[in-house]
Structure 1
Amino acid sequence: MTTFSTHLPVLKYLQRQLDGTLADGDVTHMSYPTAISKLLKFRIVAIAEAMAVIELDADATVHGNQQGTVHGGLLCELADAAIGTAHSTLMHEGESFTSIDLKATFLRPVWQSRLRAHAWAAHRGRTISHYRCDIQREDGKLVASIESAVITLRGDHAKGR
């Protein structure tokens, strides 16, 4: 039996993954789920062009800092994953990207909660795009607000990235 692969754009691949219609042979030029998302148990719960929502069940006994709350670095990683997933929906074959900055504003602590990171493009440029990401606890309260600039790489700059 021969298995054929269908090469999909990132957005279509992630939409099918999310709605459970991804076929065995469906592939895209980027790696999903990412290794860090598997390790930290991030879940994509919504996806659209230049937008992603990722959830995490955060628990200070697993993800804690010395104060006993969820570590701010985990919140930055969650936001970075949501922003990266949102931006990846714009990538074509032969393109890649990387974050060039990230600014986090922490608003309240988390001990144990399902966190939802909602990232969207505030400005989409040809090369540099700006994203916002709000992270909310399951009670709807805003935990952190993150901003990041992402640069799209093309041609030789994208190889091996």
Structure 2
Amino acid sequence: MSEPSQKLPVLAWLQRFIAGKLSPGETTHMRYPTAISRTLAMRIVEIDAGWATVEIDADAGIHGNQQGTVHGGLICELADAAIGTAHSTQITEGESFASIDLKINFIRPVWKSVLRAVAKPMQSGNTISHYTCEIFRDDGKLVAMAISSIMTLRGENAAGR
């Protein structure tokens, strides 16, 4: 006989997922881990209400650009994943969200490093929220800074998203 399904809020599910304490049948209304995170081997390492830390093992031999450094698009995706994960902890069943914009400033190059993206809200609104995300190399040096605006969708606007 299979375990009954229990739907958890996103934050509770992610906390249990990170701790390795999910029970069979525990789910959430959002898709975690995301397909892009699995494809790129990104991992959520810290989570709380409104903030998230996401890591990736970046290597120019795999994720490189024509200059031989880690591609800025990968760093941008890492920031977007951290910001989206942070915002998802505020989303209830029947709601969804969409990025309005994402701006990133690149500070220094990466060749091979565990990159750590730390996203937190600058301002959390009922519909529009603004986030910052700092991305660090494993030597502690800042690689990039991103800001993003996120729109929470409700009702028919959230349907199918």
For the superposition of Structure 1 and Structure 2, which TM-score range results when normalised by the shorter chain?
over 0.9
In the alignment, residue 19 of structure 2 is paired with which amino acid?
D
Give the deviation of 1:16 after TM superposition. Answer: 0.3
In the alignment, residue 133 of structure 2 is paired with which amino acid?
C
In the alignment, residue 90 of structure 2 is paired with which amino acid?
L
Which whole-Å deviations, capped at 9, do the CAs of 1:54-88 have from their partners, x for residues lacking one? 01000001000000000001000000000000000
TM-score normalized with structure 2 length = 0.99
Root-mean-square deviation (CA, aligned residues, Å) is: 0.5
Q: How many residues align?
A: 161
Task: Determine the structure 1 residue equivalent to 2:38.
Answer: 38
Task: Determine the structure 2 residue equivalent to 1:63.
Answer: 63
- Counterpart-to-counterpart distance in 2, 1:95 and 1:158: 5
TM-score normalized with structure 1 length = 0.99
Q: Gaps spanning 5+ residues in structure 2: where?
A: none
Mapping of residues 1-161 of structure 1, within 5 Å: 1-161=1-161
- Counterpart-to-counterpart distance in 2, 1:4 and 1:59: 42
Which whole-Å deviations, capped at 9, do the CAs of 1:117-156 have from their partners, x for residues lacking one? 0000110000000000000000000000000000000000
Q: Which structure 1 residue ranges, 4+ long, deviate > 6 Å from structure 2? A: none
Q: Gaps spanning 5+ residues in structure 1: where?
A: none
Give the deviation of 1:2 after TM superposition. Answer: 3.4
Q: What SS does the aligned partner of 2:30 have?
A: coil
